Amino acid sequence: MLLSIVLLLAACTARSATKGKITGADAQPGAVPNIVGSYSVNGLDPLGTEYGGNLMIKPGAAPAEYLLQWIVTGSIQEGRGKLDGNTLRVEWRTVEGIKPSSGVTTYTVTTKRELYGDRAVSGLSKVGTERAFPNPEGKGR
């Protein structure tokens, strides 16, 4: 039942997610905007499959640490990230979904709170890409 809801939510979000381009400039390392919040994501996995969904970023226990949860086509993933300058490096894993997987995503943060970067999946030599666009206040939460 939960997986059905996740798949439906991800499919709806994939259609409405911003498919546009990153419009903000890379944030200066000392002036990174607050990244806590809800995002729409879209990406291309290492096998060339497009996906979409939602990303929630919450503060972690330590300074510059963040907890992330993706609800994307076919799975729920969780990760822990560390912000260094304008780079957020996240180790993630699937917690529910079609295929268990894990990996590392390395985002660059823009002045408009957008995130973009490479998404590696353990065991695959190719790397995918992912973009995350902040949802307006009150949306996607």
Residue spans per domain, the chain: 2-134
Would you state the structure tokens that stand for residue 110, as one six-digit string?
């823009």
Reported pTM: 0.83
**Euclidean distance between CA atoms 4 and 17, whole angstroms:** 19
14-28 pLDDT, tens digit each: 434 435 699 999 999
105-124 pLDDT, tens digit each: 999 999 999 999 999 999 99
Q: Over 80: is that where the pLDDT of 96 sits?
A: yes
Q: Which CATH architecture has domain 2-134?
A: Beta Barrel (2.40)
How does DSSP classify residue 133?
E
